[in-house]
Amino acid sequence: MNVTVRPAGDHGALIELPDNGAAVRLAGLLREERSDLLDVVIGHTTVLVTWVGEIPDLGDAAERALVSEAGPAGRLVEIPVVYDGPDLDEVARLTGLSPEEVIARHTGAEHVAAFIGFQPGFAYLTGGDELLHVPRRDVPRTRVPGGTVAIAGPYSGVYPRESPGGWRLLGSTTALMFDPAREPPALLAPGDRVRFVVA
């Protein structure tokens, strides 16, 4: 297996990995060992690193991330959901399931936080039931309330605060996904396991 490193400007590099697990492991290694890096950002199958001074040598950590065994399973976080979202019936129609089955399949799967992006604390959760893989809305909503639980493509997610959004809205949670005054501010980190439970 190969690791490809591509330039991302004059102070950054994008490291391509075979899968999300390797990306999470590499990011962990780099954060532990490399104080000369400014940002270490996990993508779906990539790690973006940025730095301030001289170009760091990244090769060795990437190789070790590839050969190292998957670490211990991530922490399990339960997110209580009231399944009363405006798109629940639409998702049922798109999938040929009843709304009750949609809820059962969404709560039945163990999700994994693959990466954080879009908004502070917004975790892209993978590993959900494949029957619930529905396309995004053609026209995104201009405002989705904070705490909304939604799905799109292979992902589930929780909008941390009010924002525009094109995902299908299943319900809402009182879990606080991001709080700048909390340490750490984000409820979820890549590698965490997530279960949605009926509130």
Partner 1 sequence: MTRIEVVTPGLLTTVQDRGRPGLAHLGVPPSGAADPAAYELGNRMVGNPDGAAALEATLDGPVLRFDAPTTVALTGATTPVVRTVEMLDVGRCVNGVRTYVCVRGGIDVEPVLGSRSTDLLTGLGPAPLRGGDVLRVGPAPSRPAGPGTVPGPAVPGTPVLRIVPGPRDAWFAPDALEALCSEPWRVSSSSNRVGIRLEGPALERARRDELLSEGLVTGALQVPPSGQPILLLQDHPTTGGYPVIGVVRSDDVPLAAQLAPGFRVRFVVDPQFT
- Which positions touch partner 1 (CB under 8 A)? 6-14, 27, 38-48, 50, 115-122, 124, 161, 178, 180, 184-186
Q: Which residues contact 1 (CB under 8 A, 6 or more apart)?
A: 18, 66
Distance, in Å, from the CA atom of 135 to the CA atom of 87, rounded to the nearest integer, reads 12
Q: Is 15 left (phi over 0), alpha (psi -120 to 50) or beta?
A: beta
Q: Which tokens go with 1?
A: 């297996």
User: For partner 1, which is the closer residue by CB, 10 or 130?
Assistant: 10
**Nearest to partner 1 of 43, 171 (CB atom):** 43
The residue among 42 and 132 lying less far from partner 1, judged by its C-beta, is 42
Closer residue to partner 1 (CB): 13 or 109: 13
The nearest distance, CB 45 to partner 1, in angstroms, is: 6
How far is residue 48 from each of residues 22, 37, 56, 140, 160, measured CA to CA in Å?
13, 10, 13, 28, 23
- Provide, rounded to whole angstroms, the least separation between the CB of residue 72 and partner 1: 20
Give me the least distance between CB of 40 and partner 1, in Å please: 6
Helix (H) or strand (E) holding 178: none
Rounded least distance, CB 171 to partner 1, Å: 22
Closest to 121 measured CA to CA, from 178, 195, 39, 172: 178
Residue 101 CB, nearest approach to partner 1 (Å): 28
- At residue 124, the 3 state secondary structure works out as strand
Output the six-digit token pair for 101: 């089955």
Residue 28 or 85: which CB sits closer to partner 1? 28
